[in-house]
Amino acid sequence: MDTIQIFDTTLRDGEQSPGFSMHREEKLRLARQLEQLGVDVIEAGFPIASPGDLEAVRAVAGEIRTCKVAALARARQEDVDAALRALEPAAQPRLHIFLATSDLHLKHKLRIERDEALEQVSSMVRFGSKQTEEVEFSAEDASRSDIEFLCDVAEVAAEAGARIINLPDTVGYSTPDEYGEMFRTARARLAAYPNIIYSAHCHNDLGLAVANSLAAIAAGARQVECTINGIGERAGNASLEEIAVALHVRQSRFCAATNIRLEKIYATSRLLTAITGVSVPPNKAVVGANAFAHEAGIHQDGILKNPLTYEIILPEKVGVPSRRLVLGKHSGRNALRARLAELGYETTPTELAECYRMATELADSAKEVTDRDLLSFIHQVRRGRTASPAGSAVRARPRAVAAR
């Protein structure tokens, strides 16, 4: 069973998305949690970006001890110098150097020729390798690069001392089959460097970031760069929690595992939400509010009989306190009976039928039937007041809203 290294870039790529900027203390709080989560590498920031970011990276590097701390730098001397200064206190530093390799970026952004790019990569990786033990090189926009030139760049970086070669899908352009093939080609071309670790870094512009990351793993990548809650520039990065859980659930398929402590996932997600003030969508995989919520009666009945019927992993496994059986217009009698029992009321078939009638009437007007509604129903049934409470219950809610 191979181990996939999890390279968390929430504090760098994630922070670069609008509205997600974090100051020094916030970065430290999240870095401590990431260390507890069991990530292998924390990319703490881009030190050349600002003095504040350099100090934040330095603070994280000075505190984190059980996993590696990385700092990002363009293939420029001033960037590399800033990153090395930020990493000075690190117990396990990693210098992360990048340069674009697609002709589009070379021509229109960097305005350099291919031979100049090769020289920059060689000189900066070689310099960095003399200053610190571990250097990672990233070929920005790898998925839109000419494959032969991309392999040339990767080979130059490996020869200069890079231990990790990252081939990013920087703009979320690739598809899983294309992305996996790129890794297979690069690995074959760099066969003379068998100890190189290949890394995937995917963006979600087409909603394929996690799928592409898994395709890279299947093609031999042994590091995945990702973020908590999938935050990141534009549509975001590959979601750490989705990759970790996918590898856990489909371990027999990938023959790979991570060092992530799955039970810490939910708490880490909630901490990021608290720091940034940005919640995840309810339908977000693994950590969304509906990830372990069930309203359809057929699903609820299956869950009550055996959770594996409609859940591929138990909520407690990823730190979610419990599943929710939501009572609404799609719910069934079994879920209603179970919830009433949890509230302390064992019902007869007649009582259950009458409560179910009340619940379905209310659910036609209200999105969800609450515990308060259920208690009202059972009390009315047992007092012999079986008139539908739907009108009064539904009217009471708008009055409460108006009163506020």
CATH classification of the domain holding 181: 3.20.20.70
Tokens in use for 37?
Answer: 């989560």
Distance of alpha carbon 192 from alpha carbon 61, whole angstroms:
33
Nearest residue to 197 via CA among 226, 227, 154: 154
Torsion of CA 76, 83, 27, 278, to 10 degrees: 10
**Which pLDDT belongs to residue 304?**
82
Is 146 part of a structural domain of the chain? yes
User: Considering only 69-73, 231-235, 392-396, which range has the smallest mean pLDDT?
Assistant: 392-396
Is 245 part of a structural domain of the chain? yes
Is 288 part of a structural domain of the chain? no
Contacts (Cβ under 8 Å, ≥6 apart) of 92: 65, 67, 68, 69, 134
pLDDT at position 401 over 70: no
pLDDT at position 368 over 90: no
Is 287 part of a structural domain of the chain? no
Q: Which domain holds residue 246?
A: 2-276
pLDDT digits (tens, 9 = 90+) for 148-200: 999 999 999 999 999 999 999 999 999 999 999 999 999 999 999 999 999 99
Q: What are the DSSP calls for 264-328, one per residue?
A: GHHHHHHHHHHHH--PPPTT-TTTSTTTTEE-SHHHHHHHHH-GGGT-SS-GGGGT----EE--S
Is 282 part of a structural domain of the chain? no
**Which pLDDT belongs to residue 19?**
83
pLDDT digits (tens, 9 = 90+) for 255-269: 999 999 999 999 999
Mean pLDDT over 41-61 rounds to 97
Q: Is the pTM of this model over 0.75?
A: yes
**pLDDT more than 70, % of the chain:** 95
**Which pLDDT belongs to residue 384?**
82
**Which pLDDT belongs to residue 400?**
32
Q: Confidence band (pLDDT; 50, 70, 90) for 403?
A: very low
pLDDT at position 137 over 80: yes
**Which pLDDT belongs to residue 96?**
98
Query: Are both 339 and 391 inside the same structural domain?
Result: yes
Distance of alpha carbon 221 from alpha carbon 197, whole angstroms:
7
Domain boundary, last residue among 216, 244, 276:
276
**Dihedral sign (CA 231, 236, 238, 241):** positive
**Which pLDDT belongs to residue 385?**
58
Which helix (H) or strand (E) covers residue 175, if one does? Answer: none
**Which pLDDT belongs to residue 301?**
79
Instruction: Between 164 and 369, name the one with better pLDDT.
Output: 164
Query: Are both 300 and 268 inside the same structural domain?
Result: no
User: Considering only 44-58, 139-153, 361-375, which range has the smallest mean pLDDT?
Assistant: 361-375
pLDDT digits (tens, 9 = 90+) for 89-111: 999 999 999 999 999 999 999 99
Mean pLDDT of the chain: 92
Query: Are both 227 and 175 inside the same structural domain?
Result: yes
Query: Are both 300 and 267 inside the same structural domain?
Result: no
